[in-house]
């Protein structure tokens, strides 16, 4: 029996809160490349509006959207309005939108034309003087990856990147490269115009509350850190499953696949946060360095017996929530004979003192039975069973679950005695959810990373060495896939199921099982 005990927080008191001083960013201009795109309309502008409503933006702040589409400032503002209404339902009001939208401007341009960037520089200079943004500039690349090098070059060649009394920063969306060589070339290219401390490589997963809370949970609670190692932990499972298919991203996904789309960034970043050593101080430099140490310690895949460490899959037709859905190869824009994987499960090992011999099982896939992202730390079974007539394996081990989606919460399972004369055991779950957190202001992932980008805080961004290390680990696997050296018959799992049957074998060899989706 699984009994859940809700831990609900009362409204926080001054005595119960330990908070750093809230910071408001300095005045700045945010220039968005790709302003007519889905990311800007669904995520960036709604997130910035929410920051504005909660008085987390500076008074002197402007947004300049750029794209090839020709439109006026007012037309651009109106095109953004519906996305803000839908992005934060219940929080929109015309008065605050009017104040916020008056800070938004639009400039049409061609990203491959240097003259367009020189024109942008002239427009930006005038707006900076008018709105007193102190020449602090943030360039956000919400564009397809093939434009990153071109745009960064033209920003540099048009001297937009020159720091004239203020700061200049560039925020780049994932994926950063498609293998080790391309990532190194892109880094080299961007570094011609921007120093490393000016570059913010975004991974929005790191902006989620539960992900940020991993470090606080581990290092600010003395009861957990002493058992956070190979002596007490049996294995770790990290899952990112979604019910959606490729949707309207076939062009991107066909060239990426699940390894590039999820493993190289989100999944390995979650692993690093889970496995890292305590930083000496809770700041970007020290946290980044400890994450890098984990990535350096990851054991390379055994390429001569890769099937023992990696399983790939591609969804076929099936049902999701009672509705029939097509196979990946039947999706619009997908090659009918595509070998792009939409599912991957892999075993990783961290070869250091703390984690030697502890498997980290990672899986991610599309068209799964339900949407879930979580880190599950399974502790070892009890060494001796005192109760008679009870099998060891009938006693479930303790599991600590850090849930990221669909709900951000933390759960811990443990055994208790059921009321009554008999010594009957049951598993109960202590469950903390951010939904019950006293109405505290919670930022979603893009709100958090946008705010940190304005504050110049690299804590939730990815360092150059981190990008190179993850690509170095995964590029041999990608090469083997693309050279046909990994023999897998696609599709090999129906939509609505938890992936290929072979994925279970990864855990069953060690007498483990995946958590149920």
Q: List the domain boundaries for the chain.
A: 28-173, 206-508
- Give residue 6's pLDDT: 41
Identify the three-state secondary structure at position 238: strand
Per-residue pLDDT band at 394 (split at 50, 70, 90): low
Q: Alpha-carbon distance 253 to 333, whole Å?
A: 10
Confidence label for 465 from pLDDT (cuts 50, 70 and 90): very high
Q: Which of 180, 194, 26 is nearest to 172 (CA)?
A: 194
Q: What are the start-end ranges of the H helices in 238-337?
A: 250-258, 268-275, 284-297
28-173: CATH architecture = 3-Layer(aba) Sandwich (3.40)
Q: Which range (109-113, 179-183, 207-211, 257-261) has the least confidence?
A: 207-211
Residue 342's pLDDT band, with cuts at 50, 70 and 90, is very high
- The pLDDT score that the predictor gives to residue 415 is 81
Angular region, 480: left φ>0, alpha ψ -120 to 50, beta rest: alpha
Tokens 């200049």, located at residue: 168
Cβ-proximal residues to 311 (8 Å cutoff; 6+ apart), any chain: 343, 344, 345, 346, 499, 500, 502, 503, 505, 506
Q: Identify the pLDDT of residue 8.
A: 39
CA gap 39, 445 in Å, rounded = 13
Per-residue pLDDT at 224 exceeds 80 = yes
CA gap 199, 51 in Å, rounded:
22
The yes-or-no verdict on residue 118 having pLDDT over 60 is yes
Residue given tokens 């360039």 in the structure block: 139
Pick the CATH number of 206-508 from 3.40.50.880, 3.30.360.10, 3.40.50.920, 3.40.50.1820: 3.30.360.10
In this structure, the strands spanning 315-316 and 493-494 are parallel
By C-alpha distance, which of 339, 341, 340, 343 is closest to 364? 343
**pTM score:** 0.90
> Is residue 273 scored above 50 in pLDDT?
yes
pLDDT of residue 435: 66
User: How many alpha carbons fall within 13 Å on the CB side of residue 371?
Assistant: 10
What is the distance in angstroms between the CA of the first residue and the CA of the last residue of the chain? 18
Q: Write down the pLDDT at residue 388.
A: 63
* Contact between residue 298 and residue 356 where contact means Cβ atoms under 8 Å apart: no
Q: How many of the other CB atoms lie within 10 Å of CB of 424?
A: 13
Kindly list the catalytic residues.
Answer: 266
d(CA 377, CA 385): 22
pLDDT at 11 over 80: no
């910071």: which residue's tokens?
23
Burial class (CB in 10 A: 0-12, 13-18, 19+), 82: exposed
**What does the pLDDT read at residue 441?**
56
Reference 100, options 45, 152, 166; nearest CA is 45
């Amino acid at each position: 029996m699984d009994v859940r005990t809700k831990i609900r927080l009362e409204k926080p008191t001054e005595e119960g809160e330990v908070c750093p001083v809230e910071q408001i960013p300095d005045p700045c201009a945010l220039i968005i490349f790709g302003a007519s795109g889905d990311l800007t309309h669904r995520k960036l502008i709604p997130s910035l509006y929410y920051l504005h409503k909660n008085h987390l933006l500076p008074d002197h702040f402007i947004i300049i959207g750029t794209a090839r589409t020709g439109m006026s400032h007012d037309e651009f503002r109106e095109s953004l309005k519906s996305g803000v209404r839908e992005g934060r339902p219940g929080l929109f009001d015309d008065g605050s939108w009017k104040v916020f939208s008056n800070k938004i401007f639009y400039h049409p341009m061609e990203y491959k034309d240097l003259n367009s960037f020189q024109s942008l520089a002239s427009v930006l200079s005038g707006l900076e003087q008018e709105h007193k943004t102190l020449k602090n500039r943030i360039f956000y690349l919400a564009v397809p990856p093939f434009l990153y090098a071109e745009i960064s070059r033209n920003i540099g060649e048009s001297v937009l990147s020159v720091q004239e009394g203020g700061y200049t920063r560039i925020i780049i969306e994932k994926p950063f490269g498609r293998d080790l060589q391309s990532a190194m070339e892109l880094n080299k290219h961007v570094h011609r115009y921007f120093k490393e401390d000016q570059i913010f490589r975004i991974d929005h997963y790191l902006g989620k509350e539960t992900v940020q809370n991993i470090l606080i949970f581990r290092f600010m609670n003395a009861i957990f850190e002493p058992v956070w190692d190979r002596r007490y932990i049996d294995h770790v499972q990290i899952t990112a499953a979604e019910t959606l298919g490729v949707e309207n991203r076939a062009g991107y996904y066909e060239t990426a696949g699940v390894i590039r789309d999820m493993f190289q960034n989100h999944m390995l970043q979650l692993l690093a946060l889970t496995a890292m050593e305590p930083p000496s101080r809770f700041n970007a430099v020290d946290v980044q360095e400890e994450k890098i140490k984990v990535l350096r310690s990851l054991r390379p895949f055994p390429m001569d017996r890769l099937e023992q460490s990696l399983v790939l899959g591609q969804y076929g037709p099936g049902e999701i929530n009672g509705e029939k859905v097509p196979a990946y190869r039947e999706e619009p824009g997908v090659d009918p004979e595509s070998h792009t994987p939409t599912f991957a499960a892999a075993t990783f090992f961290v070869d250091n003192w703390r984690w030697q011999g502890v498997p980290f099982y990672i899986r991610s896939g599309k068209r799964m039975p339900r949407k879930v992202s979580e880190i599950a730390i399974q502790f070892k079974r009890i060494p001796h069973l005192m109760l008679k007539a009870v099998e060891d394996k009938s006693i479930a081990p303790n599991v600590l679950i850090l849930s990221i989606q669909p709900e951000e919460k933390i759960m811990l399972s443990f055994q208790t005695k059921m009321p009554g004369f008999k010594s009957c055991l049951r598993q109960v779950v202590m469950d903390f959810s951010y939904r019950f957190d006293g109405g505290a202001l919670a930022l979603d992932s893009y709100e958090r990373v946008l705010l940190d980008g304005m504050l110049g805080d690299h804590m939730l961004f990815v360092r150059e060495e981190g990008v190179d290390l993850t690509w170095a680990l995964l590029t041999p696997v990608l090469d083997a896939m693309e050279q046909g050296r990994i023999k897998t018959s696609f599709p090999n799992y129906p939509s609505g199921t938890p992936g290929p049957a072979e994925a279970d074998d990864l855990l069953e060899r060690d007498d483990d099982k995946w958590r149920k989706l």
